[in-house]
Each structure stands twice: as C-alpha cells, then as structure tokens.
Amino acid sequence: MLEEIKDLELLSTCHAEDKFHDECGVFGIFLNEYEDDCEAARTTFYGLYALQHRGQESAGIAVSNGHEIQLHKGMGLITEVIKPDHIKKLKGRLSIGHVRYSTTGMSNVVNTQPLVFHYLNGMLALAHNGNLVNTVELRKRLATYGSVFQTTSDTEVVANLLARYSQDNKIEDALARCIMDAKGAFALLIMTEDRLVGVRDPMGIRPLCIGELNGNYILASESAALDTVGATLIRDVNPGEIVVIDQDGLHSRQVIDSPRRAHCIFEYIYFARPDSTIDQVNVYQARREMGRQLARECNIDADMVISVPDSGTSSALGYAEEAGLPFEEGLMKNRYVGRTFIQPTQKMRELGVKLKLNAIEEVVCGKRIIMVDDSIVRGTTSKKIVQMLREAGATEVHMVVASPPTRFPCYYGIDTSRREELIASTMDETEIEKFIGADSLHYLSMEAMFAAMKSSEDTFCSACFSGKYPMEIET
C-alpha cells in the first residue's frame, strides 16, 4: 500500500500540474428495479469512472443489501481498486462510491472513503466531497465526550456527530442537527442499510445533483456521471437541502435556507468536466464564454490563438472566435502520462514540461502567438511553455488567462498549494509577465468572469481570487 503512495508522491513531484486540485467525487444510487444483485455497485463503478478527474488517489464503493453494508476500497484509480471479482461480491440495491484527492497530505489507506461505521441504530456509510472549517473544534468537543478517531478526515467527525444525534432520531433528523454544527463546504452522501441520503452545504459550495435512471434515483457530484451511466439530470440538490431516497421515492427537506449562495467558481474554470452542467450552467459554455470575454478585454495583435491543452482549449476557442483569429493546435500533449517516474538528468530537468507538452514548430515558427490557459498557480509551467514556444520559433508569445489571478488559498476542499506558492499572491502582473517571459500577460477581470457566468458575485465563492471568504475559517 505504501509503495503506491510513494509512487504518488513521485507523481506529485514530477508531474506537478501547476493546477489547483479538486478533492473528491461522490456517486450514489438506490435501485428499485434491477437486473442483478451487483447492478448498484456496477453503476457506481461507472459513475466514479466518469468522476475520476475529481480524485485519482483512492477509490471505494460501499453497498447495502438492506441488512448489511459491504465495502471495498483502496489506493489508486477506480479501475485499479475495483476489479470484476470485487463487483461480484458487492451485492445490494443501494450503493455509494467515492474518488479522492487528499488535500492534507495524509494520503493513506485509512483515509480512503467511503467510511463505514457501526452505530447505535445499525450501519452507516459516508462519502464526502468538501472540507469542514471547524473540524478542530468539533473533534475537541466530541473527544471530551469520549469519541476516538481513527482517521484525520472530517468525515469521521460527521459520523461521530451523526451517531451522537441519532439516539432517538431518524438519520435525516440527526443529519439536520449535524449541518447546523458543521461549518464549511460539503456535498455528502450517507447510506444506511435501507436509505440513501444526500446533503449539500448551506451555500452550495460543492456541487451535488440528482439524476434518474429507469425509475431509480442517483446522486452525483457532476451531471457528466449521470450521462455516462445513461441517467437523466433532474436537478441540483439545493444548498442546505437534505434529500432522502428510499423505496418510497425521493423526499426533500430544506434545513437551512441561506440567502447567500457560494458555488465554487473554480468548478467552472478548471475542476468539473466540460460536459457537466452545475447549478444550471454548462461548464464548457461557461469556459468558452470566459474566452470570449477575455478577447473583448484584451486587444492583442497576433497571428493565431493556441491553448495549453486540455484545460485551456474551450476558452481558447472562445477567444479565437471572438478575436476572429485562427485557432491552431500549437502544443501537443502526450496522452500516456504514467504514474511513476524516473528522475531526469540535470540536462533533462531543464526541459521538464516537454515530457507532457511539445510545441509544433511547423505551426508556431515565425508566428505571433496568443496562448490561452485556464489559470496560473505557481507560474513555473507557464514559464517553461513560453520558453518552448520561443525555441520553436514563435516571434511573440502573449499569455492570456481565462480567470483572474489566484491569490488566496481555498479552505473548502481544494488543494491550492500554500499561499506563498501562488505566484499572484507575491507578484503583481508585470512581475509575473516578466517571470514567465511572455511578451504580454492578461488575466480575465472579476467582472468579465461574472458576466461570462451571467450572474453576480454573491452567487459564487470566488475567494481564491478575492480573499472574500463566504464563511469564517477556524485558525
């Protein structure tokens, strides 16, 4: 097990994507009608497969047959962790699953999800996307009552709260009390022996939607997972809403009704799949529109627009369209990036990014290039790409970024690196431009970003740009 973790460490060292990292993806299903006993697990497998981009560190599936919950999980991709033989053993009509990218560095098998607990009234499985901001306080409070914790995950905190509140209560009542206590961002799935429950934090920071497949309900982090399993998107879970699915169907309870929404704007910029629609906005269209807005804000005289693939492509297409410039594939990505890595020699280390990206000299040589990326985190990769384009003969390289400068860390479930590593928190735009060696550098403005989203600032959490956190953080 630790072997794999070491490999992942190597990965994060060598492949460092210079991007924010999402934390998790969740998927759950309650079957009323089913072909065979493994259908719930199998559908969850495919759902997680579609959500793999939200976490590649560990994966797991729990099922309930009405009496008992069974679990299989481990380190790795869902296809590495769950094999056909495992699916055969995961029998039951309810299932929840989880893919994980750890925010804290405590990446080991004990922190993989779903977590399964025995409590007073039976068994509980939990799968959580998000991050509580008052975990220390809650752990301390629970510990004084005698609670013990085997993991460092806030999901275990939620489970202990649930157990404590469920003495005489149904799980949804206990859960309603929990979400009063738990501050932070969460899209949480809970499975008891006979019920599937979903809840979304009061501001709707992390996404969670409801789907339907042949009369069966599904809960998933993104609508693309619904498409993949052939289900239809019904609606998003509302911020502060608890959704209970049992054999009588879907029941909703609006526990908290916050006027402030705070949907994570970075889901649209980078995290979510372009083919997902979150809180009624399609991600691809949002990105393309951000590209168009960007073109309106910049006014660069150039020969062509290229993107840093794959995440910059949608906005680059929007930019090219708006600017009336040709879009070209000036950078090619190696599609077979592995998970372990040989340390490069000193000479090669300087090349670095070439292992993943390569400039096409025939395309860029002698040309004035506008290069679109979705965001800049540390700036080191951007610097190398600009250099690569110049070496391939580009006469000008203008870097345009389809989001504002990322200056502040996220406390709501996203791994944003430490603040001092965020280039935009220590340098102004002129300094960054100089650092990355571009002829010019342009970020999307906050206003243009919200305009692209066709919505206002107070619908979103954009704290990573503005530092205005929608709720207080435990220190």
What pairing do the DSSP bridges indicate for beta strands 216-220 and 209-213? antiparallel
Q: How far apart are CA 277 and CA 234, in angstroms?
A: 11
Reply yes or no on whether 24 is catalytic. Answer: yes
In whole angstroms, the minimum distance from the beta carbon of 7 to its own copies comes to: 9
- The residue to which tokens 């409070």 are assigned: 141
152 or 258: CB nearest its own copies: 152
Told to check if 106 binds its own copies by CB under 8 A, we report no
Residue 275: CA count within 13 A, CB half-sphere: 8
Our CB check for its own copies shows the closer of 159 and 179 to be: 159
CB of 345 to its own copies, least distance (A): 5
* CA atoms 447, 409, 47, 460: torsion sign: negative
Which residue shows structure tokens 């680059």? 316
For residues 432 and 441, is the Cβ–Cβ distance under 8 A? yes
- From the list 248, 324, 347, 430, which residue makes contact with its own copies (rule: CB under 8 A)? 347
Strands 368-373 and 396-401: parallel
| 8-47: contacts with its own copies (CB under 8 A) | 35-36, 39, 42-43, 45-46
Cis (ω within 30 of 0) for the bond into 310? yes
104 lies in the binding site for its own copies (CB under 8 A):
no
| Alpha-helix residue ranges (DSSP H) falling in 36-125 | 39-50, 78-81, 84-89
Show contacts with its own copies in window 181-240 (CB under 8 A): 214, 224, 227-230
Instruction: Choose between 277 and 403: whose C-beta lies nearer to its own copies.
Output: 277
Q: Is residue 49 part of the contact set for its own copies (CB under 8 A)?
A: yes
Taking CB under 8 A as the binding criterion, the range among 183-191, 203-211, 281-289, 431-439 that sits at the site for its own copies is 281-289
Task: Name the one range near its own copies by CB under 8 A: 79-87, 367-375, 415-423, 451-459.
Answer: 79-87
Shorter beta-carbon distance to its own copies: residue 386 or 422: 386
Pick out residues in 55-74 that bind its own copies (CB under 8 A): 56, 71-72, 74
Question: CA–CA separation, 250 vs 185, rounded Å?
Answer: 23
Judged by CB under 8 A, does residue 82 bind its own copies? yes
Q: What single-letter DSSP state applies at residue 92?
A: -
Q: CB of residue 140 vs its own copies: minimum separation in angstroms? A: 8
Binding mask 381-420 for its own copies (x = CB under 8 A): ----------------------------------------
Query: Quick check: 336 binds its own copies (CB under 8 A)?
Result: yes
Evaluated on CA atoms 371, 377, 380, 381, the torsion sign reads: negative
Q: Which amino acid is at 6?
A: K
- Binding to its own copies by residue 119, rule CB under 8 A? yes
Footprint of its own copies on residues 287-326 (CB under 8 A)? 288, 310, 313-314, 317, 321, 326
How far is Cα 170 from Cα 246, in angstroms, rounded to an integer? Answer: 13
Q: Per rule CB under 8 A, is residue 160 in the interface with its own copies? A: yes
Which residue, 123, 156, 153, 131, is CA-closest to 58? 153
Q: Which two tokens stand for residue 169?
A: 């209560």
DSSP label at residue 354? G
Q: How many residues of this chain bind its own copies (CB under 8 A)?
A: 103
Single out the residue of 153, 129, 146, 117 nearest to residue 22, CA to CA.
Answer: 129
Binding site residue list: 264, 311, 373-374, 410, 461, 464
Binding site residue list for Mg(2+): 311, 373-374
Provide the annotated active-site residues.
24
